[in-house]
Structure 1
Amino acid sequence: MVHTIIQPDDTWILWAFLAGWAAVSIYLEQKYEWASKISGAIIALVGAMLLANFNVIPTDSPVYDTVWSYVVPLAIPLLLFQSNILKIWNESGRLLLMFLISAIGTVVGAIVGFFLLKDLIPVLDKVTAMMTGSYIGGSVNLAALSARFDTPGELVSSAVVADNLMMALYFLVLILIPALSFFRKRFKTPYIDELEQNSEDGNSNLAASYWKGKEISLKDIGLAVGTAFVLVAISFKLAELFGRIIPSGVDAPFLLNAISGILGDNYLMLTTITLLSVTIFSRYFERINGAHEIGTYLIYIFFVVIGVPASLPIILQNAPLLLVLVFIMVSMNMIISFVLGKIFKFNLEEVIIASNANIGGPTTAAAMAISKGWSKLVAPILIVGTLGYIIGNYIGAVIGYWFGLY
């Protein structure tokens, strides 16, 4: 067990760090042009990563679990209060196609990585199956596939650390790409262009311009937060109910597994219930100010947590070759996503968000869209990315059974 200055059970100190560093990241992003260019999301993530690797904060704590369990679910409905469901439908079709193209990159990376390393890593067929599922739908699939293939616990733990490290590094790359002229010259960037055109008074700091002050009352805060709690409670309870009554698992038919995966998924149900509520009671939601700001702050706390588990010493000590495997898989995902994205004329923002949704899942993709100000992509990528849970599980299972033959 690695000793850290701040212990895992120092709850208030860890919360002070998470909430405080998220606030500092937002402040720097809006105050300084250099910080705006690299984005507050990177500042939040890198700060946590450095402190974790220098053993200042622990890489695992119940506090971080609380962020995943409560902070992220509350952020999602808050960020969807102003969503137009008709526009979302139009955007989701393009994003779904780009997401599937990106998933091809993950599969190619899995095949290349397996045949290069199969003689060097024990039970690599099981590990590659886990990582294929993880890099098509997020870490939820990693847990499901590790149970399906009964992967040894020590390999699962090492794979999780390698996954977190590579995921954090890749997110840094994706967040930086829109600022690079190489990509701006080769892809259309409608969302970035819109942000730049809307920047007022010649302000070069897009973050400060986008998040300029607006009127907000105590009533707005109460309605926004209270409504978010109600939506999360109803959605999660419904998902739990459907997950319990619809058969699923290895012995269940494919169709029932698919239905259970859709209706029994917390985040897909939350997104669906929120969008229906916003559409049906549009006047109520349109009158609430500040929901987007509150939700975004919560997402910045989430970005801090993403950087925490990326511990380089742990992975180098336990299973350095797993880092090579995930590097190959993520690299192939990126190369194929951007090459085919260019060939099929997808926007740069769509390629970045779709690749993110593959590697990290819908929550990280939505968080990146929010941090970059691409608010119209938030709801579509939540829907598409959540469907990736189902797609990734089945593709990961096929990969595992295939590689098991070797």
Structure 2
Amino acid sequence: MGEANSLISPDNYWVLWAILIGWAAVAIILEQKYSWASKLSGAIIALLGALILSNTGVIPLESPVYDAVWTYVVPLAIPLLLFQSNIVKVWQESKRLLIIFLISTVGTIAGTIVAFFLLKTVIPQLHFIGAMLSASYTGGGVNFAAMATRFDVPQDTVSSTVVADNLLMVLYFFVLITIPTISFFRKRFGTPHIDEVESNGVNENAAKDYWKGKEIALKDIALAIGTAFVIVAISFSLAGFFSDLIPEDSNIFLTVLRGIIGDDYLMLTTLTLALVAIFPKYFENISGSQEFGTFFIYIFFVVIGVPASIPLIIQNAPLILVFAAIIVLINMLVSFSLGKLFKFNLEEIILASNANIGGPTTAAAMAISRGWTKLVGPILIIGTLGYIIGNYIGTSLGVWFTSLM
């Protein structure tokens, strides 16, 4: 994908790590120092910086360094961010989020069907693309990969669709994170979480106020990082064990069970919340876990902005981008119109749509960047459930679309 033409080679690990972590740090500093950056958010600054660096050929589009962020940094961030979660409150909030998430999923399905019938005569192998994107825009990249394997999609089609998917996800993330600052939406939807943040006197610089300094000892660092590593190791080992124990081609009940207890991130989220509920004092006494987890998430923001190659889109897949954009647009219209009809809060609608299109991690990251801390745990739980239903939606639509080609 053109990595050899970048100024920094994919195997120049130390320089790439320096850029990822360094730019994440710059995004946080700017967010906390300047009001314009706080309004834009450090998340967008991190994304845009990576987008510029990759599209100008400074850094490669692919590297083992980026894979390491997905493999190690993101899983560690999740338990760290959940150490202060109250399981009772999380469940109370999750029930509402589940409904709006399912409504948003209906938007994905409707968008995929409309886009398919509009473009099926002009985009080759659109039945495969529809299967991959409908699954991805319900759950996440895990579902995308599953559909690519399930339908044995040619590699060039997979690559073109991945590039279009990544670029659109970044653009939509930018749209969603900007919506709370637009008065049109603020006037028409309830915004209790935004109001709570603003009532604490953080109108001008939410990030600086929220992340004000706190006392932290070496013991806190040891407990936070050490506990996170242990939880991730146990969770992924358990998920792998159950995934191997239950065959893929089992009956529907066992397949659903395998998707629940055999999923790394669902097991990680569940185990973390269970441990926090069982040992609340232990986790409450760990200072700095939110800070560590959030910094890891900012590194993730930088990474997801890297693969969005605009030249590759123009060269290889402009119509695939249009196809994906139609799905996202209809998802947004369904989410916001029905969300308004059923009186959901603006924050809930935004995060539900984000969890559909970008997955639970990006949704949780957005909640963190905007200070909606009470929704971090719930959206992680609900978004992870999208991994389960995404494969069913992608497979169903893929089989149907194939019969129409």
**TM-score class normalised by the smaller sequence:** over 0.9
Partner of 1:225: 225
Partner of 1:351: 349
Aligned residue among 330, 335, 338 for 2:336: 338
Partner of 2:388: 390
**Alpha-carbon offset, residue 300 of structure 1:** 0.3
Query: How do residues 197-276 of structure 1 correspond to structure 2 at under 5 angstroms?
Result: 197-199=199-201, 204-248=204-248, 251-276=249-274
Distance in 2, Cα, partners of 1:117 & 1:190: 40
Across the aligned residues of Structure 1 and Structure 2, the Cα RMSD in angstroms comes to: 0.9
Worse-matched range after superposition: 314-323 or 234-243 = 314-323
**Does structure 2 conserve the Cα–Cα contact (< 8 Å) formed by 1:8 and 1:61?**
yes
**Does structure 2 conserve the Cα–Cα contact (< 8 Å) formed by 1:199 and 1:210?**
no
**Alpha-carbon offset, residue 372 of structure 1:** 1.0
Distance in 2, Cα, partners of 1:133 & 1:143: 9
- In the alignment, does 2:379 pair up with 1:381? yes
Deviations 1:139-166, CA, capped at 9 Å, x for gaps: 1101001111111111011000000000
Which aligned runs of 4 or more in structure 1 are off by greater than 4 angstroms?
A: none
* One-letter identity of the residue aligned with 1:181: S
* One-letter identity of the residue aligned with 2:309: S
Aligned residue among 85, 88, 92 for 1:86: 88
Partner of 1:63: 65
Partner of 1:279: 277
* One-letter identity of the residue aligned with 2:244: R
**Does structure 2 conserve the Cα–Cα contact (< 8 Å) formed by 1:91 and 1:377?**
yes
Tell me, which stretches of 5 or more residues in structure 2 are unaligned? none
* One-letter identity of the residue aligned with 1:242: F
Partner of 1:125: 127
Distance in 2, Cα, partners of 1:121 & 1:204: 47
Tell me, which stretches of 5 or more residues in structure 1 are unaligned? none
Q: Alignment identity in percent? A: 67
Deviations 1:27-70, CA, capped at 9 Å, x for gaps: 00010000000100000000100111111111110000000000
Aligned residue among 42, 46, 62 for 1:40: 42
Deviations 1:265-323, CA, capped at 9 Å, x for gaps: 00000011101111111111111100000100000000000100000111211121111
Worse-matched range after superposition: 122-131 or 29-38 = 122-131
Distance in 1, Cα, partners of 2:157 & 2:134: 15
Distance in 2, Cα, partners of 1:353 & 1:107: 18
**Alpha-carbon offset, residue 199 of structure 1:** 2.1
* One-letter identity of the residue aligned with 2:161: A
Distance in 2, Cα, partners of 1:193 & 1:323: 36
Distance in 1, Cα, partners of 2:321 & 2:284: 46
Partner of 1:288: 286
Distance in 1, Cα, partners of 2:327 & 2:97: 21
Distance in 2, Cα, partners of 1:378 & 1:149: 34
Partner of 2:7: 5
* One-letter identity of the residue aligned with 1:290: G
Query: How do residues 359-378 of structure 1 correspond to structure 2 at under 5 angstroms?
Result: 359-378=357-376
**Alpha-carbon offset, residue 204 of structure 1:** 2.0
**Alpha-carbon offset, residue 112 of structure 1:** 1.0
Partner of 1:315: 313
Partner of 2:16: 14
Query: How do residues 394-405 of structure 1 correspond to structure 2 at under 5 angstroms?
Result: 394-405=392-403
Distance in 1, Cα, partners of 2:308 & 2:190: 33
Distance in 1, Cα, partners of 2:109 & 2:308: 24
Partner of 2:32: 30
Partner of 1:111: 113
Distance in 2, Cα, partners of 1:332 & 1:166: 14
**How many positions carry a matched residue from both structures?**
402
Distance in 1, Cα, partners of 2:59 & 2:37: 24
Distance in 2, Cα, partners of 1:254 & 1:365: 29
* One-letter identity of the residue aligned with 1:236: F
Distance in 1, Cα, partners of 2:284 & 2:201: 23
* One-letter identity of the residue aligned with 2:84: Q
**Does structure 2 conserve the Cα–Cα contact (< 8 Å) formed by 1:18 and 1:301?**
yes
Distance in 2, Cα, partners of 1:240 & 1:403: 32
Distance in 2, Cα, partners of 1:130 & 1:252: 22
* One-letter identity of the residue aligned with 2:238: L
* One-letter identity of the residue aligned with 2:332: M
Distance in 1, Cα, partners of 2:385 & 2:52: 33
TM-score by length of structure 1 reads: 0.98
Distance in 1, Cα, partners of 2:187 & 2:207: 22
